[in-house]
Every structure is written in structure tokens, then in C-alpha cells.
Amino acid sequence: MFTGIIQAVGQIDAITIIGNDLKLSILAANLGLNDILIGDSIAVNGVCLTVTQRNDIHFEAHVSKETLSVTSGLDKKQAVNLEKALRLQDRLGGHLVSGHVDGVGEVVKLNHLGDCWLLAIRAPHTISKYIAKKGSICIDGVSLTVNGIEQDTFNINIIPHTLENTTLKQLKVGSQVNIEIDQIARYVERIAEWAEANAT
């Protein structure tokens, strides 16, 4: 589990093709890898990956064909948002994030709004029903609050601190982003389905 509070921005600096999968080498000098063990999880642009090798400034992770097919941004050398897995004693500064991407969205607007930025993203139609005004959402691993939604497009206000300390500052119209919906939405839907199926 993660919180969506980005701890460092790293860099995918080597990609090795292994059949249909990829092995990534990620420069994470500012993340602090001394407490990371082989087998630990790190969220990379919102995708939960397992550490297979590491040294003081790099870690490696294997990315399966399935993961590549439902995410964006892991198949090229670029900056990535990084977060270590949540420990029970940690503060939950964002919201509960699993690192399991629900869909890939597209940036349709990024406008300066005073000191902040207004980001509009078109979500896949299959997951837009789970996105609610004032609800939590995770974009490329960053915990954010939905300001509003119309059909499949939702708006987010990004404060300067978030923009400066994540890869969101590199977004532009047409950029693809990983979206993870709030887990509560999944459970609410399941409870409603179960109640309807078992109504007497």
C-alpha cells in the first residue's frame, strides 16, 4: 500500500527487453534505498513494482507484459514519481493507494490559474463512474482531489508544491497518465451489486 505522497523523482535510465517483458533500472538517489530489501515494493508513476536488485542509488524492477498493457510511462527513459511502500507507523498524508492502475487517461487541458494549475484529464469511460467531485484520485502516483467531473473528463487543481516536486510539471495536452481510482468506490459498487443480487 502507498499514500500517493511522492517521496522523490527518479529516472528510468536503462531498459532491457526480456521476451515480452521489460527490466527497468531506475536512478533513485534521492529516495533513500538503504532500508529497501530485495522483494520490497516501490510505486513508480503509480505502478507497484517489486525491487529485484538495488545498490545505494539504483534499483531494478521487472515489468510484465500485462502491466505494460494497462499502464503508461514505463517503457521509455524518463523521469518518474517514486514512493516506498507504506509502513503501519507512517502518516497517511494522502489516501490509500494500492499501486494497481485502473486505466490510462489523457491530459486535455493544463491552464495556469493564479498560483496554481488547472489540470483536466479524460478518463477511460469504463472507470469514469468511479470518479466523484471532492473524491480522491491518484495520477501517476500522486494523490489528488477531484474538483469536478463532466462525463469522462475530470478537473484537478494542482498547487505549486505538488507541481514542483513531481513529474506533473512535465505534462502537456495529449500526455498519457496512470489513473487509480479511490478504493472506496470499488467496495461501494460491490456492496450495491451484492445487495441487489440478494434482495428478497
- Give the residue from 26, 56, 84 where a domain finishes: 84
Tell me whether residue 3 is in a domain.
no
- Could you report the per-residue pLDDT of 91-123, keeping only the tens digit for each? 777 788 999 999 999 999 999 888 899 999 999
- Give the residue from 84, 114, 130 where a domain finishes: 84
Cell numbers given for 83? 514512493
pTM for this one?
Answer: 0.92
For residues 115 and 162, state if they share a domain: yes
How many Cβ atoms are within 10 Å of 161's Cβ, its own excluded?
8
Tell me whether residue 161 is in a domain.
yes
The residue-averaged pLDDT of 55-81 equals 96
For residues 180 and 116, state if they share a domain: yes
Half-sphere exposure of 199 (CA within 13 A, CB side): 6
Tell me whether residue 197 is in a domain.
no
- Could you report the per-residue pLDDT of 131-169, keeping only the tens digit for each? 999 999 999 999 999 999 999 999 999 999 999 999 999
- Give the residue from 32, 56, 84 where a domain finishes: 84
* Least confident window among 29-38, 65-74, 81-90, 124-133: 81-90
Among candidate residues 79, 75, 78, 28, the one with its CA nearest the CA of residue 51 = 28
The per-residue DSSP string of 120-172 comes to EEEPPHHHHTT--TT-EEEETTEEEEEEEEETTEEEEEE-HHHHHTSGGGG--
**Alpha carbon distance 190, 44 (integer Å):** 28
First-to-last alpha carbon distance for the chain, in angstroms, is 37
Tell me whether residue 115 is in a domain.
yes
Among candidate residues 138, 136, 37, 38, the one with its CA nearest the CA of residue 81 = 138
Domain encompassing residue 174: 103-190
Q: What is the CATH number of the domain that holds 15?
A: 2.40.30.20
Tell me whether residue 2 is in a domain.
no
Tell me whether residue 43 is in a domain.
yes
Name the band, by pLDDT with cuts 50, 70 and 90, for residue 200.
Answer: low
Which DSSP symbol is given to 51?
E
